[in-house]
Chains A and B, each alone.
Chain A
Amino acid sequence: MMPRGVIIPGFEQVRRNKKFAKIWYFRHIYLFLLPAIVWFLVFAYYPMYGILIAFKDFKYNLGILGSPWAGFKFFEQFLNDSSFYDVLRNTLSISALKLIFGFPAPLILALMLNGVMHERIKKVFQTISYLPHFVSWVVVVTLMQKILSPNVGLVNDIRYQMGLDPIFFMGMPSLFYPLVVISDIWKGVGWGSIIYLAALTNIDPHLYEAAEIDGAGRWSKLFKITLPCLTPTIGILLIFSLSGILNAGFDQIWLMQSPSTLSVSEILDTYVLKTGLQQGQLAYSTAIGLFKSAISLILIVAVNNISRRVSDVSLW
């Protein structure tokens, strides 16, 4: 029951025209957006529609819509699959280990770099620490395989000269997780520290001066000023890491795994690739991928909301 008397005749019309005039004013900008919209529709949204095949007995000749429905058959198959628990356990273990050991590493590096008083030396340290980020996992794994190789790799070469037997590091299941975590830190720590270094430069130096006058030492300055000032940055990065807990790192794991380490190295992403592209079980593989994406999406929304509520730190 809206009172209508006060509306000037034609007012709605004017408003609509104004809106249209504004859109018309920005017509070129919409044109700028056009290629991006087309690309994202094709390469990002169309595959989302393709997820339907997780619920279908997919046949190429029948197409996505034409294939018969299969219901939740493939999800049940996955949950009953003997590899399900292994794959899930490996994924979560690798992610968790990376989080526990890998997450603090860039922060520690940044704090250490921040303690370097010579600008020049700091620059050199920084530049070198970024290097591993810029080479691909293919190269990193090649480096590892050579350095750890049982036949005259660097490490076994030294072991040989000390009279020790060679070890096939990359083929031992018990060493797989340590190697994954160490190589992941090696590759990412320098790059990860950039964001903390940037945040460190934003801390007001007066805070430190005031603290020094009050007699604060190195450690109390660290715990009372530096870390509290970094909390928002740490929070954002933690949200990212927690929501990516089902991403154990496809490239790295795929390249590092070998038949002898399969029991500890098969993760969701590598399993999707093997069942899908290598064994051609397209629908089954899509179902596993969807299982992963759905949980990841729920996780990122949940973690973000919780964080926003308790600490005001959030991605959106």
Chain B
Amino acid sequence: MGARRLTPADRIYMSLNYTVLFVFCVTALYPFIYFLALSFNDGYDAMKGGIYLYPRVFTLENYIKAFNNPLILNSFFISISRTLVVTVFSVLLTALLAYALSRKGLPGRKYIVFFFFFTTLFSGGLIPTFILFRQLQILDTFWVLVLPSLYNFFNAIIMKTFFDGIPEGLSESARIDGASELSVFARIVMPLSMPVLATIALFVGVGVWNDWFTGQFFIQNENLQPAATFLNKMISEASFQSMTSSSGNSGSAIQNMTETQMELRGVTPEALRMTFVIIITTPIICVYPFLQKYFVKGVLVGSLKE
């Protein structure tokens, strides 16, 4: 951009541009503010409506109830341990795969890449996967929350492209000095690749944290269900209630409380859901802005044609 003076047309264009972007950002942010206000408001008072930006009858009761409920607490414990385990192992294993694929001159590399790439084009589908889990006997165990999430070939491609950019000379000279492949990988490649490792860790971590499907359909044991699944069960119970209660009267919804919600008496199920949404979203909101500069580059690199 040169140092040209802005014409009136430019000014109109700019202010229109800024206004539209501002409105979009408000719509992206506002639902969370709305829920934040409701989660800190007394549930019965909230039923009167009219809470938009801040709580009217401030209370911490919703959060206290949420954190004192063994099922909620347990689902968080499951989600946190699952996310940690999957993220650590997935990043390490994917890096190992990506490093191997980035080694030039590897005999048969074309065929090996196709072996992995094909899985992104075609898959067995839901039922064969379900039968596989059954045969492996990992249904309804912690394993089903971990093992199937370990690899994603797109992540490997992003890492491989990053590794391709590391000068060959660095690892070559280490090899001449007698370093093994493993120590080249661990001592030279990995430390240089922190940006891409952080990006992939974010992608994997967020994906696993947000995954409700596995818990919903492959886990029966209530003590093993992740937080996202638990939240989904709370909503489907609620929408079922608003279906059945003719006038959509919240009063009858409370009388129809299911077993899970019985233990939460004292706060409305509605307020508890708002609270739950805030609790489940907070870790993500805290993490992603800090990794933004990495994943913007990561997406760029991963999108380049092979």
| A residues neighboring B (CB under 8 Å) | 19, 22-23, 26, 28-30, 32-33, 35-37, 39-40, 42-51, 53, 60, 64, 109, 112-113, 115-117, 121, 124-132, 134-139, 141-143, 145-147, 149-152, 154, 157, 160, 166, 168, 170-171, 186, 189-190, 194-195, 197-198, 205, 209, 212, 218, 233, 236, 251, 255, 258-260, 272-273, 276-277, 282, 285-286, 289-290, 292-293, 296-297, 300-301, 314-316
Contacts and interface: CB of A to CB of B under 8 A. Distances in A.
B34 A48 contact: no
Contacts of A150: 242, 248
B277 interface: yes
Interface string B60-88: 00000000000000000000000000000
Given A23-B107, A277-B217, A51 B28 contact: no
B213 interface: yes
Interface of B: 1-2, 4, 9-10, 13-14, 17-18, 20-22, 24-25, 27-29, 31-32, 34-35, 38, 46-50, 52, 93, 96-97, 99-101, 103, 105-107, 112, 115-117, 119, 121-132, 134, 136, 147-148, 150-151, 156, 180-182, 185, 206, 209-213, 217, 228, 231-232, 235, 238-239, 242-243, 248-250, 270, 273-274, 277, 280-281, 284-285, 288-289, 292, 295-296, 299-300, 303, 305-306
Given A22-B105, A53-B128, A143 B248 contact: no
Contacts of B211: 136
A312 to B, nearest CB: 11
Nearest to A291: B125
B28 A142 contact: no
Contacts of A138: 210, 212, 228, 231-232, 235
Contact of A50 (B9, B14, B127): B127
Contact of A282 (B10, B14, B131, B250): B131
B27 to A, nearest CB: 7
Given A33-B97, A64-B131, A136-B210, A289 B2 contact: no
Contact of B235 (A42, A125, A142): A142
Contacts of B125: 47, 51, 272, 286, 289-290, 292-293
Contacts of A293: 122-123, 125
21 contacts: A22-B107, A33-B100, A36-B116, A40-B115, A46-B124, A46-B132, A47-B125, A48-B123, A51-B125, A112-B17, A130-B292, A136-B212, A139-B280, A146-B274, A152-B250, A166-B248, A194-B299, A236-B305, A273-B217, A289-B127, A300-B121
A141 B235 contact: yes
A157 B50 contact: yes
B40 to A, nearest CB: 15
Contacts of B231: 138-139, 142
Contacts of B238: 145
Contact of B126 (A22, A171, A277): A277
Contacts of A141: 235
A145 B239 contact: yes
Given A195-B299, A289-B125, A29 B103 contact: yes
A304 B141 CA distance: 40
Given A129-B28, A136-B228, 11 more contacts: A32-B96, A35-B96, A42-B132, A43-B132, A48-B122, A50-B129, A128-B29, A136-B211, A137-B210, A138-B210, A138-B212
Contacts of B129: 43, 47, 50
A135 B281 contact: yes
A194 B296 contact: yes
Nearest to A233: B303
A143 B35 contact: yes
A136 B292 CA distance: 18
A116 B112 contact: no
A-B pairs, 3 with minimum CB distance: A47-B124, A50-B128, A136-B210
A115 B122 contact: no
A131 B292 contact: no
Given A50-B124, A145-B235, A150-B248, A43 B148 contact: yes
B124 A48 contact: yes
Contacts of B1: 117, 205
B243 A260 contact: yes
A198 B128 contact: no
A143 B49 CA distance: 16
Given A22-B107, A26-B103, A141-B235, A127 B217 contact: no
B18 A116 contact: yes
A186 B288 CA distance: 18
A60 to B, nearest CB: 8
Nearest to B22: A125
B126 A272 contact: yes
Nearest to A195: B303
Nearest to A256: B239
Given A36-B96, A48-B123, A53-B128, A152 B303 contact: no
Contacts of A154: 34, 52
Contacts of A30: 100
B82 to A, nearest CB: 14
A157 to B, nearest CB: 4
A112 B25 contact: no
A190 B289 CA distance: 13
